[in-house]
Amino acid sequence: MKYGFIIDNRKCIGCHACTVACKAEHEVPIGVNRTWVKYIEKGTFPDSRRYFTVMRCNHCDNPPCVEICPVGALFQRDDGIVDFNNQRCIGCKSCTMACPYDSIYIDPDTGTAAKCNYCAPRVDNGLLPACVNVCPEQAIISGDLDNPQTEISRLLGRNQVTARKVEKGTVPKLFYINGEGSAMVPMAAPPTNNYQQFEQAAGVGHYAFKAAKRAIDIESEIISSRGNIPTGYQEENKSKYGVTLADGGGSRVDLMAQKATRTHDAPSKGILWGWELPAYLWSKAVAAGLFIVSSMTAIFSPYSVTDQFLWFSAITSLIFLVLTVLFLVKDLDKPMRFFYVLLRPQYGSWLARGGLIMTAFGFFVMVWIIGQLSGIDAIKNIAYIAGTASAVFLGVYTAFLLGQAKGIDFWQSPLMPYHMLAHTIMAGAATVLLYGLVSYDMNIIEISKKVLMGAIVANLVFTLSEIFSAHSTADQMLAAKIIFGKKYGNIFISLVLMGGNLLPLWLLVKAGFGLLLIPVALLVLLGIWVSDHIWIRAPQLIARS
């Protein structure tokens, strides 16, 4: 048994009965939706037409939201329905980033994730989902896709259907008959000036009250600067949505040649991962990088290192590890459930694995402290090796977590782990450099300078490659354009490329051992923070539904 949906756009009249029935059935709060109707208008009066497209969870066969959830709050039933348990949810918002269809929201009343669950209680009692039951035109069809006798199977057999973002590998089970291409491609139809959702709440999330409007502004800016549809969408989507019905007479015209505007849609969710995630990336880079650089210095340096330096490295690493945990907990909408990550883990998620990695790193730092206090070199050596290995994992595991966020194309770059490792080494070397300058330890200064120069060069290579290399999707291209666009371009160039990389690199070569090395270290740490901030926020501005 495998439940799915078909939306028959030949029948849909855009009445919103499905949205209202869904809200009534599940007491969905104002400002968020499990099912909603998107309006697209094409052409110019009198040669114009409005298209209605019902949006909702796709109940994927390979649901990325289930994979990324660290506590198993989202799960797939044996009948294919993707359901959720809000008693387990910690409000980490990972599932919202993983969904390519923007179908998951954070409930403003409970602080937990929610979505269409196929009206599972009704289905279990032999009833139809509420939206199917209420549709006056029978435009929404549900049923078992594995049973050839069901209406949904017969419709799939008789009609050419379209599904959204099949290239994501999610195997969606929401199909459209006569699906309108400019509704399927989120950025293909810009909002109009009298966009009906402008007057609604701006969405739900840490920064939704500010960022949702800015997200629409960014979207409009991208499209207006390059015509109705950004370059890249033509090539990527023409093969999937190249032609459509232009009018009742059945004439077929090129979709991309038509002007399409969005006149009604659900409110944008805005920025769901706000400042806490970049802060958490920065603090764990300092914690992990400091231990890596100091332990490698202690093991391989031709110079002897002082106990003072080793104690500084261990204690400072623990302090920044605690900061990392605090930032992580601060980002949760259910912070009191943080321990579910360790007590009720779903180890397919890199967030759950990250909890283990942070625990292991903290454990091995404490083992080193015990070895240092006891004077037993064997314990310290074991802690160095195991602690360094766990520090490397601590520095890069978030790249794999972002890779599980299938809804954000820009984070799928294969260079992301190397980028984060470079940031980790940079942060560690900059912190060690500050220690060397304060303690007047010339050996530490010399070593940290060399490590920092190498890490900066590597970081520049990975950063610029992620932005300027060929992008596999149009959304990746748009994210790169936002990073270098009006909103972030000046900040990125001045504080990240110039201030956080090129200027420190030049000063490291020219400054010798002078006081100019203090701003070098501080600029590097600031550049990492700003870079993480932009890398996390900018791709979230791109519409996904």
DSSP-based three-state secondary structure for 117: coil
pLDDT score recorded for residue 248: 29
What are the pLDDT digits (tens) for 11-23?
999 999 999 999 9
Residue from 282, 517, 288 nearest 425 by CA: 288
Going from the C-alpha of 314 to that of each of 307, 311, 369, 387, 433, the distances in angstroms are 11, 5, 7, 10, 15
Predicted confidence at residue 199, as pLDDT, reads: 40
Q: Name the percent of the chain lying above pLDDT 90.
A: 67
Max intra-chain CA distance, the chain: 88
CATH assignment of 3-264, among 1.10.620.20, 3.30.70.20, 3.30.1020.10, 3.40.50.1000: 3.30.70.20
Task: Evaluate whether 240 touches 180 at the Cβ level (below 8 Å).
Answer: no
pLDDT at 106: 92
pLDDT greater than 50 at residue 502 = yes
Specify whether the CB–CB gap between 34 and 90 falls below 8 A. no
CA distance 398 to 395: 7
Name the nearest CA neighbour of 189 among 216, 213, 158, 150.
Answer: 216
Model confidence at 305, in pLDDT bands (50, 70, 90)? Answer: confident
| Residue, of 69 and 199, whose pLDDT is higher | 69
Lowest-confidence segment of 204-208, 277-281, 376-380 by average pLDDT: 204-208
Alpha helices in 175-207 (DSSP H): 181-184
CA atoms within 13 A on the CB side of 268: 25
Which band of pLDDT confidence, cut at 50, 70 and 90, is reported for residue 49?
confident
Output the pLDDT for position 253: 39
Cβ distance 58 to 32 under 8 Å? no
Q: pLDDT at residue 238 above 60?
A: no
CA–CA separation, 306 vs 449, rounded Å? Answer: 18
Res. 228 pLDDT band, cuts 50 70 90: very low
In the structure, what pLDDT confidence band is assigned to residue 193 with cuts at 50, 70 and 90? low
Please write the tens of the pLDDT for every residue from 274-304.
899 999 999 999 999 999 999 998 888 777 7
- Is the confidence at residue 30, as pLDDT, over 80? yes
Topology adopted by domain 276-541? Formate dehydrogenase/DMSO reductase fold (1.20.1630)
Confidence of residue 150 (pLDDT cuts 50, 70, 90): very high
- Reply yes or no on whether the pLDDT at 256 is more than 70: no
Taking residues 231-251, what's their average pLDDT?
A: 39
- Predicted local distance difference test score (pLDDT) of residue 234: 45
Residues of the chain with CATH 1.20.1630.10: 276-541
Question: In the predicted model, is pLDDT for residue 235 greater than 70?
Answer: no
Q: What is the mean pLDDT of the chain?
A: 87
Q: Which pLDDT does position 194 carry in this prediction? A: 56
Predicted confidence band at 58 (pLDDT cuts at 50, 70, 90)? very high
pLDDT in tens, 427-446: 999 999 999 999 888 889 99
How far is it, in rounded angstroms, from Cα 399 to Cα 78?
A: 31
pLDDT of residue 206: 53
HSE-CB at 232 with a 13 A cutoff on CA atoms is 17
**Which residues in the chain are classed under CATH 3.30.70.20?**
3-264
Asked if residue 525 lies in contact with residue 285, where contact means CB atoms within 8 angstroms, the answer is no
CB-based contact 131:18 (threshold 8 Å): yes
More confident residue, 393 or 194: 393
pLDDT at 231: 46
Considering only residues 271 and 20, tell me which one the structure prediction assigns the higher pLDDT. 20
Is it true that the peptide bond before 46 is cis, omega within 30 degrees of 0?
yes
Percentage of residues in the chain with pLDDT exceeding 70? Answer: 87
